[in-house]
Amino acid sequence: MGTLQTSTTIAVIGAGTMGAGIAQVAAAAGHPVLLYDAAAGAAEKGLANVAKGLDRQVERGKMSAGERNGLLGRLRTVTSLEHVAPAGLVIEAIVENLELKRQVFGQLETICAEDTILATNTSSISVTAVGATLKRPHRLAGMHFFNPAPVMKLVEVVSGLATDQAVADTIYDTAAAWGKSPVHTRSTPGFIVNRVARPFYAEALRVLQEGGADVATIDAVVKESGGFRMGPFELMDLIGHDVNSAVTCSVFDAYFQDPRFQPSLIQQELVTAGRLGRKSGRGFYDYGQGAKRDTPATAEPASAPGQVTVRGPLGVAEALVGLIQEAGIEVIREEGEGLLQAGPALLALTDGRHATARAADAGLQGLVAFDLALDYAKATRIALAPADQTGPEAVRASVGLFQALGKQVSIIDDVPGMVVMRTVCMLANEAADAVNQQVCSAEDVDIAMQCGVNYPRGPLSWAQTIGLPEVQAVLAGLVASYGEDRYRCSPLIVRKACAGGIFHA
């Protein structure tokens, strides 16, 4: 079937946040678009919102007045569902309610031609369930846009049990023609993004719950070392804890309470207290007038070591060697297992265990674990976790070393896998399970996480850079520390670690 031609009419049902945005995207691509909403005046309001957004773009010089007028000329509101009969593709974006969605699609089947493609923008309802009461469930697929639809590139094309592959392919090709980055996914709870993103919030909440570091420090480390655009707590505050917690709970229940997705008591407390985030003026942070923004824990200046001994290859942290030399510190290389000796300090990239357990097991003196960075050269902050046996001189020497490389240093408590490492390994673990369970391809899960939630790298590609045996070791370290099934390693990581460690080129 291929891409729908721009002469094909697109209908959008529901003119709220998502529907209005989707209608704008389709009209921008050149289609005639019909916008319908059941609430009186809602379609006009949706259209007015689109016009307002376009006016701003014209003011900022991002769009010509001619383009604006052309786009709005293709967008028309209709007052009855019957009026969408000419549409070749109908995208439903009404309230998140299975019964109402089934009713709408049931009516559409009697209104539209048999070969009309039906799509739902649902973010959490099974496409199989929506299709189950239809006469032609093979014509239905998910077309899941992200908010704001005109800006976010990702579209998850969701196939239910009955969805015709040609229908999914047409939606995919059409989304690509609209300038989006589509991915294919089977209809499983959370699809790709809302499933694979869970550990981004969950691991930060675990570190907080265990007193590993405070909210502002965790956010700072995730951004400044991990390269994520927002910290997990800032992002939860923005999404709203009621919404974020509801997604977590629904995914947890949908996977039959798999401990991988276990919700957080800390977040539940916030919801109970009405601290829903920015929208209520308070979440993890206080957004009230005059409220002081919490600042991350940052170590006082310490002196740089004159010399560092690098024992063995540092793997994903190897770039540190060049940075140390550039900082004018003498580097001596010796055989070993990937350790940095700086005076009394022995530094090692976290391997998923408590640094305390590692120091005890290997008889290491002055052990200080450091966290994963997306790019050690660009990172502006690094987290350090001293083992309980490590004395203050070794901690100061470690701080001095990273400060000499131009980094701020956050000392955190000795939590297994620290902050960035455990987060990235658990994101990759969930991504690998989605691939292993035939939900999506390895390429698509990486596209989805980069285009749907702005991750700086796809989790599988990131895991390849860390090294799959190392990722497997971090997860084993987490299992050893917690004894929880939550951290079990995906069979696909186990398998790929034995065979070159590549998910995709």
Looking at the annotation, which residues are catalytic?
A: 123, 144, 156, 194
Q: How far is the CB of 355 from ligand NAI (least distance, A)?
A: 40
Instruction: Kindly list the residues in this chain that would bind ligand NAI in the complex (CB under 6 A).
Output: 13-19, 37-39, 42, 93-96, 100, 104, 121-123, 145-147
Instruction: CB nearer to ligand NAI: give 108 or 412.
Output: 108
* DSSP assignment letter at 4: P
Query: Among residues 420, 480, 430, 465, which one has the least CA distance to residue 218?
Result: 420
Residues in a beta bridge with 339? 311
Do 377 and 323 contact (CB within 8 A), yes or no?
yes
Instruction: CB nearer to ligand NAI: give 38 or 254.
Output: 38
Instruction: CB nearer to ligand NAI: give 23 or 397.
Output: 23
Q: How far is the CB of 281 from ligand NAI (least distance, A)?
A: 21
Do 232 and 222 contact (CB within 8 A), yes or no?
yes
Residues contacting 265, CB < 8 A, separation 6+: 209
CA distance 383 to 413: 10
Do 128 and 162 contact (CB within 8 A), yes or no?
yes
- What is the edge-to-edge ordering of all strands in the sheet holding 75-78? 75-78, 33-36, 10-13, 89-92, 117-120, 140-145, 154-159, 181-186
Question: For tokens 């046996």, what's the residue?
Answer: 389
Concatenating the DSSP letter of every residue in 8-76 gives S-EEEE--SHHHHHHHHHHHHTT--EEEE-SSTTHHHHHHHHHHHHHHHHHHTTSS-HHHHHHHHHTEE
CA distance 359 to 353: 10
Handedness of CA 310, 312, 313, 316 (dihedral sign): negative
Q: How far is the CB of 78 from ligand NAI (least distance, A)?
A: 11
Q: How far is the CB of 351 from ligand NAI (least distance, A)?
A: 38
Q: How far is the CB of 327 from ligand NAI (least distance, A)?
A: 45
Instruction: CB nearer to ligand NAI: give 154 or 387.
Output: 154
Instruction: CB nearer to ligand NAI: give 376 or 455.
Output: 455
Residues contacting 415, CB < 8 A, separation 6+: 207, 210, 212, 213, 354, 385, 422
Integer CA distances (angstroms), 461 to 180, 374, 379, 430, 471, in order: 21, 12, 19, 13, 12
CA distance 191 to 18: 18
Do 55 and 83 contact (CB within 8 A), yes or no?
no
- Spell out the alpha helix ranges (H) of 353-458: 355-362, 392-404, 420-436, 442-453
Instruction: CB nearer to ligand NAI: give 147 or 209.
Output: 147
Closest residue to ligand NAI in the complex (CB): 16
Q: How far is the CB of 182 from ligand NAI (least distance, A)?
A: 14
Instruction: CB nearer to ligand NAI: give 158 or 384.
Output: 158
Radius of gyration of the chain (CA): 25
Handedness of CA 477, 344, 376, 284 (dihedral sign): positive
Which amino acid does the sequence have at 425?
A: C
Instruction: CB nearer to ligand NAI: give 184 or 353.
Output: 184
Instruction: CB nearer to ligand NAI: give 140 or 208.
Output: 140
Integer CA distances (angstroms), 486 to 34, 43, 196, 325, 482, in order: 46, 45, 14, 40, 9
Do 186 and 448 contact (CB within 8 A), yes or no?
no
Q: How far is the CB of 179 from ligand NAI (least distance, A)?
A: 18
Q: How far is the CB of 335 from ligand NAI (least distance, A)?
A: 53
Q: How far is the CB of 46 from ligand NAI (least distance, A)?
A: 7
